Structure 1
């Protein structure tokens, strides 16, 4: 029997910190992170090279009250440290499920994680390891969406997969409007014109300029990540 090959060999998975919370108000829900990792293990086993950029909103949310009135750059650095915490938790869960992960940080914390070095990241991917990029771009005023677009372009990812709690991009908020319909595909210019808020403007412009497609899908739906990498019509594809 001929084995069906995945549609994508190398992907950049963008996980929000909030996706790790499950039903909790902040922090990391262990059952949720283990389920997500199981999906990553599944696609890695069929030969897909996986890199991950993770946000820190779930950790930072717990200290957000204390950051009110804080200098923006200082708050952003705190958020970067939150992404490092999430990356370590994600890598630990991967290791426990038999998948080798390497955390690479855009800010230097060498006692804890490796610094980001592009050739080393590419080597890890070729070896079948999952690379988790932490600390965003290493600069304040840039989101982890921008980090996902940047790292995706740097490592030659074929697609940026933005994992959310909603199974794609809709004409309206489906939680509030039951008549909202899901876009199957969108051109970058159309998405910008409709102000759909898929990613922040910097990230979106970078993906458009590099002709790096974005697929928005639900990380909550069982098997959705596998369906995406196999090229099935899952979520919404945004392309040049």
Structure 2
């Protein structure tokens, strides 16, 4: 009977439409904390938008419990690699437009509706200098991009060595096949913050073809594959 009750509560939680999917934000004392979440993966990013200072980024796979908890398998952490590959739980209080996550209050951002780019993506091929596509084999070293609620973030990590190589993110739009990023945080070079970059985007099934030019003017062609 106990297990049936737990199952009933869990199904009821899902049936009520409770989901962290989207983008959530908290701004306190000049620090912005942005959560970007799909149905199964979330990232937490802390930065100072005005001073262009990157502070912290971490994330991983998650599930929602039946008693106001989120359970996470941490895949990366920019400041504390010791927690990578550990299981953590966080107190949450989720409402339609507000969220308390680990005792911090967030508001849901209505910057954009979900679209063809929504989800968690992994880069699986990239054009080399001659334009030939080079496939990237699956492994612990990977670059992922999470897209939800009009916010994006890419992050390069290695789950085996716990290495964090870099990240960047901010707002994005997708209009008539044109994908535009407006960068709000960048771990490697804060001079990138505020920049807008536009690319052509084509989604065919679980494959996203990303073409255009980098901030340095170099041609880019990448294939990203949907993970969830």
Q: Under TM normalisation by the shorter chain, which class is it?
A: under 0.3
TM-score of the superposition, structure 1-length normalised? 0.24
Structure number with higher helix proportion: 1
Higher CA-based Rg:
2
